[in-house]
Structures are given as C-alpha cells and as structure tokens.
Amino acid sequence: MEHPNEKVMRELINYTINKSGGGRTGCFIVKGDKIISKAISTVEKYKDPTAHGEMNAVRKICRKQKNYHLKDCWVYSTQIPCPMCASLIVWSEAKGIVYGWDGRNTWGKLNIHPKIILKTAKMPIKIIGPFMEEECLKIRGYKKK
Ligand SMILES: [Zn+2]
C-alpha cells in the first residue's frame, strides 16, 4: 500500500465519527495492506491522561502481537500527534505517520512541536500531513485554527 492512503484515512474519519461522535482523536495502525489496530481516545471515559487515540491503538496491537515494536507499520491519526504520542511513535519504531488535521491547540500543553520529537528518531520516520485536513475537520469538535 502506498502512503498516504485516501481510503484508509476516509475509513479512519468515519470510524472516529461513528465511535465518538466527535471531539476525539482516531488512530489506525497499518501494516502492509491491512489495518491491524483501531482506536479512539478514551481520556474522559477512563480518566486516563495517556489514553490518546494513538496510545490506545499502539497498546492494543502490541499486546496482541506480544512485542512493543511497530516496525514496517504506519500510524494514521485524525490529527497531528501530541508530543507524548510523537514520543510513542519514536519508541515503537513505526515506519511513518500520516496525520489529518494540524490541530495545534492540542499540543499547546507541552511547548514543543511534535515534529521536532519525530525527527529525533534514530530510525527516520516519514511524516506526512496535513492530509485530507478538510475532511478531518468534519469531525465534531475539530475547529480550524
Ligand atoms: Zn497524544
């Protein structure tokens, strides 16, 4: 599969809207031609500040595959990952990230741009985004800056 992939991002947007209605981040992990993990953020639901969409999707697949690496995997997120999730992507050694909306206000709590973190990875991570930003903005709660 070529990245960025419109079909995957469209499915992710629909998944995020269907699962949450809005206001949440949705994330897919893609390996080869398959979506191997799907999640939305559950911070409010479980009162867990680390339960971002990316965190939940990575946790799910790592438990399932019984290792903590996402080698050869692509992370798709409905918005640019926050610095914490950017670090997660580096730790998991994902191949690349495709993000939708460049929702800057969500990483405002940590005054470091996530791309700076992604670029520190020893194994280079491909960074693609904003991708299909207008469609991601249809997710309720996402507001153009
Ligand atoms: Zn995050």
Q: For the segment 15-33, what is each residue's pLDDT rounded down to a tens digit?
A: 999 998 888 999 999 999 9
Q: How many whole angstroms from 78 Cα to the centroid of ligand 1?
A: 11
**Is the backbone peptide bond immediately before 130 cis, with ω within 30 degrees of 0?**
yes
Which tens digits make up the pLDDT trace of 32-74? 999 999 999 999 999 999 999 999 999 999 999 999 999 999 9
Q: How far is the CA of 36 from the centre of ligand 1 (A)?
A: 19
In the chain, what is the straight-line distance between the N-terminal and C-terminal CA atoms, in Å?
A: 32
The answer to whether 26 and 12 have CB atoms below 8 angstroms apart is yes
**Could you list the active site residues?**
54
Within 13 Å and on the Cβ side, how many CA atoms surround 123?
14
100 Cα to the center of ligand 1, angstroms: 14
Please check whether residue 52 is in contact with residue 44, taking contact to mean a CB–CB distance below 8 angstroms.
no
Residue 4 to residue 23: CA distance in whole angstroms = 23
Distance 77 CA to ligand 1 centre (A): 10
> Model's pTM, two decimal places?
0.95
